[in-house]
Amino acid sequence: MDNCIFCQIVAGKIPSEKVYEDDDLFAFKDIHPAAPTHVLVIPKKHIPSLMELKEEDERLAGKILLGVQKVARKLGLQEKGFRVVNNMGEEGGQTVYHIHFHLLGGRHLTWPPG
Ligand code: AMP
Ligand code: ZN
């Protein structure tokens, strides 16, 4: 998708601080970190949002969650804990329409979110 900034990050056309990559996934540091560690985990496949995930994406959806786990372990977050967030749609606060999971850690995160 030429007009999608996350597709362009995956393609290397927009620079990013890569944290993890495999055949299906890409993870990189958020440009406006909301916590000491703030990484976005995305599928390379362009899926606009959680609501556009299809039955055929079932394996990929599982891979994303395991990818989040891999990145959390790689960054040493597993002991103290972390948060995984998916913003969906306008009221969910989604601003980039390529599905992504925020991995936040490195400080005590409050609940509920704003
Ligand atoms: P959301 O609001 O859930 O759609 O999250 C989009 C996230 O993408 C925000 O936290 C932005 O800071 C982040 N973001 C936008 N552009 C870039 C970029 N070029 N590199 C890294 N993170 C980005
Ligand atoms: Zn995309």
Give pLDDT tens digits for 59-81: 999 999 999 999 999 999 999 99
Among protein residues, the one with the nearest Cα to ligand 1's atom 20 is: 31
Higher pLDDT: 114 or 94? It is 94
Which pLDDT value is given to residue 2? 81
Per-position DSSP letters for 7-39, written without gaps between them: HHHHTTSS---EEEE-SSEEEEE-SS-SSSEEE
Which pLDDT value is given to residue 88? 98
Atom of ligand 1 nearest to the CA of 5: 19
Name the residue of 8, 28, 31, 103 whose CB sits within 8 Å of the most ligand 1 atoms, as the mutation to test its pocket.
Answer: 31
Confidence of residue 94 (pLDDT cuts 50, 70, 90): very high
Digit-coded pLDDT (tens) for 15-57? 999 999 999 999 999 999 999 999 999 999 999 999 999 999 9
Which pTM value belongs to this model?
0.98
Q: What spacing in Å lies between the alpha carbon of 80 and ligand 2's midpoint?
A: 32
Structural domains of the chain, ranges and CATH numbers in brackets:
5-105 (3.30.428.10)
Say yes or no: CB of residue 50 within 6 Å of ligand 1. no
